[in-house]
Structure 1
Amino acid sequence: MPEQELKRILIADDELLVIEGTARSLRELGYEVIGPVPDGEQAIETCRDERPDMALLDIQMPRMSGLDAAKIIFSELGIPVVIISAYSDPEYAKTSARIGVFGYLVKPINEQDLRVTLSVAWGQFLSHHESNDQITKLTQRLEDRKTIERAKWVLVEHIGITEQDAMQRLQKQARDNRRTLVDVARGILENHELFTGQSR
């Protein structure tokens, strides 16, 4: 889970006057500024080295666009991105939402817009991260349940006991050995596969 508070922000823009103004506004808002860097490729490298909490990227930069850089920064490093553009374009905004961009700023940027956008983007990122964690945990629980069911049926078929007895046997083995139920189930399945493989 990322830090709950947004502190360190990387900025990337090839327009010097814009980037200096943005950096100044960020510092006045209490953030630590990383950079600035002039293009998407350097933004990626700096994110890899410095691990900021968020990246603020201009949409059009030399060598690599802000959106292309955002895709790599978010998928590889899990760092959320806010995109800066010279004009408002709903299509860009739609694309952005799918690649780790959680906010969108249109130039010229005033401090109030910057403060609100960063706050909202960070909140959305934390919610997104939490949702993904919950999905991962749910998927793991379902996989564990399947493993336990498979182990239970191995016992039913090969020992000739009831489903209830098989489950009780799994639970007892887990208690006796101080292991989780799914660990015991995995052990039974591995031994079963080893045995059936050798007997062929």
Structure 2
Amino acid sequence: MTVRVVVADDQELVRAGFSMILDAQPDIEVVAEAGDGAEAVAAVREHRPDVLLLDIRMPTMDGIEAAGIVSAETDCRVLMLTTFDLDDYVYDALRAGASGFLLKDVRRDDLVHAVRVVAAGDSLLAPSVTRKLIAEFTSRTVARPVAPPSDRLAVLTVREQETLQMIARGLSNAEIAVEMVLSEHTVKTHVSNVLTKLGLRDRVQAVIAAYETGLTVPGEQL
């Protein structure tokens, strides 16, 4: 199966470089390029790609707005790119529906791997970003009193809530299996149920949901 990709970046050389790397892969095809967010949205609507590689900061329409539109209208997975690992817009981009986040200085092999991972339905964050994302969220909530877990979580079983807490800690399925003394297959089922019941696209949104609902609170061990 070929992964169809749209590459959107306002810097032509960056855009061309990413496109060349991805197009060289036997299982990846770049179907269009875009120079701003509006062009990216139009390209996704026209070509219906599997993945949109999208710069956060672009003219006309920025990557956050574009990601929100694409995520709302299509099943296309959005992989965000930026120059800095503590970009002010990272949290908002992920809230808009992005499934991954990479720095622009990503290595060739890591870029290709990221596209494949996101296309397969998983989420991906550069390692240096994961804790900063959570820290950004907790910094926004620390001034507010912590509410008890939301009624939104009532649809989850106790095991599923425990699974969501561990997802929020950044644990992999294998690590969750060890913590909960379950098979990895059972953990995968729990993760799938959490995403389906809460209407979440991926593990990134699950992390955010865990904080927003009060299941995981600022200051807890990650």
Q: 1:21 to 1:131 in 2, by over 3 A?
A: farther
The C-alpha deviation readout for 1:122-148, integer Å capped at 9, x for no partner, is 3326x9xx65884399xxxxxxxxxxx
Aligned match of 2:3 in 7, 11, 26?
A: 7
| Range moving further from structure 2, 21-30 or 93-102 | 93-102
Which ranges in structure 1 are unaligned for 5 or more consecutive residues?
138-200
TM-score w.r.t. structure 2 length?
Answer: 0.52
Aligned match of 1:81 in 65, 78, 81?
A: 78
Structure 2 counterpart of 1:53:
50
Which ranges in structure 2 are unaligned for 5 or more consecutive residues?
124-187, 200-222
Name the aligned partner's letter for residue 99 of structure 1. Answer: A
Q: RCO greater where, 1 or 2, for CA within 8 Å and sep 6 or more?
A: 2
Structure 1 counterpart of 2:99:
102
Q: Equivalences for 1:1-200 in 2 at 5 Å?
A: 5=1, 7-30=3-26, 31-89=28-86, 91-122=88-119, 123-124=121-122, 134-135=196-197
- Report the secondary structure of 2:115's partner residue: helix
Counterpart-to-counterpart distance in 2, 1:109 and 1:20: 15
The C-alpha deviation readout for 1:139-162, integer Å capped at 9, x for no partner, is xxxxxxxxxxxxxxxxxxxxxxxx
- Which structure features the higher share of helix residues? 1
Q: What displacement does 1:120 show?
A: 2.9
| Range moving further from structure 2, 30-39 or 68-77 | 30-39
Q: 1:9 to 1:131 in 2, by over 3 A?
A: farther
Q: What displacement does 1:91 show?
A: 4.9
TM-score w.r.t. structure 1 length?
Answer: 0.58
Contact persistence 1:103–1:120 (CA under 8 A): no
| Range moving further from structure 2, 89-98 or 65-74 | 89-98
Instruction: State the number of aligned residues.
Output: 131
